[in-house]
C-alpha cells in the first residue's frame, strides 16, 4: 500500500468519516467499560487475555483514530508554526494526557494502604506504578504519541518501516522477558526492577511501543485519505484491512501448537506456557489441518488449562503481534466502510458526531458517570437491571457531552 505524499492543503480539510468512526469507538467504549464487571452480560462484551472479544476491538480502534488525527494535526501545525513550536506543543500535550490519566485513575490504581508500605520502599512503589498501574488509555496514547513523534511527519515508507520494526522489537522483548514480566512470573527484568510477582495489563511499561502500531497505521491511512478521493480511498483501504486481519489470524494459528490435547506443553505458572514465543513445533506432527486452525476471533477458545497463554494468541494483555495486526486490520476495514457512507453518501449519525468531535471530554465525563451509576448496579445484577443501568449511564454521559457541543465547548489540548 503506497501513496503519494499528501498535498499541503489536505491537512486543513475535516474528514467526516473519521469524526463518525471516532464517535463509534467512543460509544463502544461507553458500553464495554460499563458492562465489564456485570456478570449478566455476554463474555464477548468483556476484555479477555486469551482471545479477542468485541471489547478488545475498541481500544486499538481508538488508538488508530488518534494516530490519524495526530498526523493531520501535526502536518497542519507544521505549515503554520514550524517544527520547534509544533513538536513542543505536542510533547506537552502528550504529557498532559498522562497527567489527566493519573488524576482520573491514581486514587484507584496507585493506592497505598499504610505509610510504612510507601516509606519502606518508595523506589519499588514508583517502579510498580511504571510497570503496571500507570497504563490506562490516555496515558498510553500520550506516551505512544511521544514514541512515534520522530517519524510522525516522515514519509509513508519510513512510517511503515517503523511499524514493522516496532512489531519485531515487541516480539524480541516478549521472547526475552516481557510475557513473564506482564504475567508476574520470574524473569530478569523483574529481578532488575525489584517488582517480582506484580503483573501488568495492556502491555505494561513496554506496552506503548506495541500500542504505537495501530496509531502508526492510523497515520498511514490518513495519507491514503489525503491523497485520494473518498470513492477511491476506501477501495484501497478495505483489502488491506482484510489482509491484515487474515495475517493476524494466520499467526494466531500458531497457538494451536500449545494445545495440550495434542502434545506436552510445559507451563511456567499461572497457565502461561514455559516457552510462550517459540512454539513446540513437534506438536504439529500427524495432526489434521483443521486442528491447526485457531478458534475464530470473538469465540472463546479452550480454557487456559488446556491451551496455556502464549504470545501467538490475539491477546490484548500482551498486545501481541497477532493482536496488533488483527485489531489494526479490523479498524482499517471498519473505517473504510465509514468513508463511502459518510464522505461519499453524506451519512451522519448525531450520536457519533457528538462523541467523535469531543472525545477527550466524553472520555473524562463517562468515567465519573460510570462510577456513579455502577454504585447502584451490583455485579450480580440481573440482565434487565443491568440494561436499565447501562441506558441511564449512556444517556447521562451523552447529555453532558451534547450540552458542551451545543455551547460549542470542545476539550482540546
CA angle in degrees (0–180, nearest 5) for 222-165-168: 125
Region 175-201: mean pLDDT is 93
pLDDT tens profile 346-357: 999 999 999 999
Indicate if the pLDDT at residue 112 is higher than 80: no
Q: Which of 187, 161, 162, 164 is nearest to 174 (CA)?
A: 187
Tell me the pLDDT of the chain averaged across its residues. Answer: 92
* Better-scored residue on pLDDT, 46 or 121: 46
Distances in whole angstroms, Cα of residue 387 to Cα of each of 70, 166, 359: 35, 40, 24
CA-based nearest residue to 366, from 326, 342, 401, 335 = 401
CA distance 111 to 277: 34
Give the containing element (helix H, strand E) for 25: helix 16-35
Confidence class for position 124, pLDDT limits 50, 70, 90: confident
Residue-level pLDDT at 159: 97
pLDDT of 2 higher than 50: no
Residue 112 — φ and ψ, nearest 5°?
Answer: -120, 125
Judge whether residue 389 has pLDDT over 50. Answer: yes
Residue 173 pLDDT more than 60?
A: yes
Average pLDDT, integer, range 28-45: 94
Mean pLDDT, residues 316-342 taken together:
97
Strands 267-269 and 272-273: antiparallel
Any idea of the CA torsion for 214, 219, 220, 224, to the nearest 10 degrees?
A: 130
Average of pLDDT values for 222-228? Answer: 95
Q: What is the pLDDT of residue 302?
A: 93
DSSP string of 271-294, one letter each residue = TEESSSSS--GGGGTT--GGGGSP
Q: What would the mean pLDDT of 380-392 be, rounded to a whole number?
A: 96
Question: Which residues pair with residue 272 across a beta bridge?
Answer: 269, 309
Residues 6+ apart with CB under 8 A from 228: 3, 236
* Residue 256 confidence (pLDDT): 96
In the chain, pLDDT over 70 holds for what percent of residues? 93
Nine-digit cell string for 207: 506496552
Among the listed ranges 3-17, 147-161, 354-368, which one has the minimum average pLDDT value? 3-17
Beta bridge partners of 309: 272
Name, in order, each residue with C-beta under 8 angstroms of 222's C-beta and a sequence gap of 6 or more.
6, 67, 68, 71, 72
pLDDT of residue 394: 97
The per-residue pLDDT for 244 is 98
Give 99-110 pLDDT, tens digit per residue. 999 888 876 766
At 143 the pLDDT is 96
**Which among 104, 96, 105 has a CA at the least distance from the CA of 411?**
96
Mean pLDDT, rounded, for 225-245: 96
Q: What is the pLDDT of residue 123?
A: 74
Name the residue with higher pLDDT: 134 or 344: 344
List Cβ neighbours of 277 (8 Å cut-off, separation of 6 or more).
171, 174, 175, 179, 310, 311
Return the pLDDT at 115.
74
Instruction: Indicate the pLDDT class of residue 413, thresholds 50, 70 and 90.
Output: low
9 pLDDT more than 50: no
State the average pLDDT over residues 229-251: 97
- CB 209 within 8 Å of CB 165: no
pLDDT score of 21: 97
Amino acid at each position: 500500500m503506497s501513496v503519494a505524499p499528501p498535498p499541503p492543503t489536505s491537512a486543513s480539510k475535516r474528514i467526516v468519516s473519521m469524526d463518525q468512526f471516532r464517535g463509534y469507538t467512543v460509544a463502544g467504549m461507553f458500553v464495554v467499560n460499563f458492562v465489564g464487571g456485570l456478570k449478566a452480560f455476554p463474555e464477548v462484551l468483556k476484555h479477555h487475555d486469551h482471545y479477542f472479544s468485541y471489547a478488545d476491538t475498541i481500544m486499538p480502534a481508538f488508538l488508530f483514530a488518534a494516530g490519524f488525527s495526530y498526523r493531520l494535526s501535526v502536518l497542519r501545525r507544521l505549515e503554520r508554526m514550524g517544527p520547534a513550536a509544533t513538536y513542543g506543543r505536542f510533547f506537552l500535550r502528550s504529557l498532559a494526557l498522562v497527567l489527566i490519566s493519573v488524576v482520573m485513575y491514581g486514587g484507584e490504581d496507585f493506592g497505598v494502604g499504610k505509610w510504612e508500605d510507601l516509606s519502606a520502599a518508595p523506589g519499588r512503589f514508583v517502579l510498580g506504578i511504571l510497570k503496571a498501574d500507570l497504563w490506562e488509555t490516555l496515558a498510553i496514547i500520550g506516551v505512544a504519541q511521544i514514541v512515534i513523534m520522530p517519524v510522525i511527519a516522515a514519509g509513508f515508507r519510513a512510517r511503515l518501516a517503523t511499524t514493522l520494526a516496532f512489531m519485531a522489537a515487541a516480539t524480541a522483548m516478549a521472547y526475552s522477558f516481557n510475557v513473564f514480566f506482564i504475567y508476574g512470573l520470574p524473569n530478569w527484568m523483574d529481578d532488575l526492577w525489584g517488582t517480582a510477582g506484580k503483573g501488568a495489563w495492556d502491555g505494561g511499561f513496554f506496552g506503548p511501543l506495541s500500542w504505537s502500531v495501530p496509531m502508526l497505521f492510523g497515520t498511514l491511512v490518513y495519507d491514503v485519505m489525503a491523497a485520494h478521493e473518498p470513492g477511491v480511498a476506501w477501495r484501497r483501504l478495505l483489502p488491506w484491512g482484510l489482509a491484515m486481519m487474515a495475517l493476524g489470524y494466520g499467526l494466531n494459528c500458531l497457538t494451536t501448537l500449545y494445545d495440550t490435547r495434542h502434545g506436552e506443553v510445559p507451563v511456567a505458572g499461572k497457565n502461561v506456557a514455559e516457552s510462550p514465543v517459540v512454539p513446540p513445533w513437534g506438536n504439529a506432527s500427524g495432526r489434521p489441518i483443521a486442528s491447526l486452525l485457531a478458534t475464530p476471533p470473538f469465540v472463546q477458545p479452550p480454557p487456559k488449562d488446556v491451551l496455556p497463554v502464549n504470545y501467538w494468541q490475539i491477546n490484548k494483555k500482551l498486545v501481541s503481534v497477532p493482536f496488533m495486526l488483527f485489531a489494526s486490520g479490523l479498524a482499517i476495514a471498519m473505517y473504510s466502510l465509514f468513508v463511502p457512507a459518510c464522505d461519499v453518501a453524506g451519512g451522519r449519525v448525531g450520536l457519533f458526531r457528538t462523541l467523535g468531535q469531543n472525545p477527550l471530554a466524553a472520555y473524562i465525563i463517562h468515567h465519573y458517570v460510570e462510577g456513579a451509576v455502577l454504585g447502584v448496579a451490583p455485579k450480580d445484577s440481573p440482565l434487565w437491571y443491568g440494561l436499565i443501568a447501562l441506558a441511564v449511564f449512556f444517556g447521562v454521559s451523552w447529555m453532558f457531552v451534547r450540552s458542551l457541543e451545543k455551547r460549542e465547548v470542545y476539550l482540546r489540548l
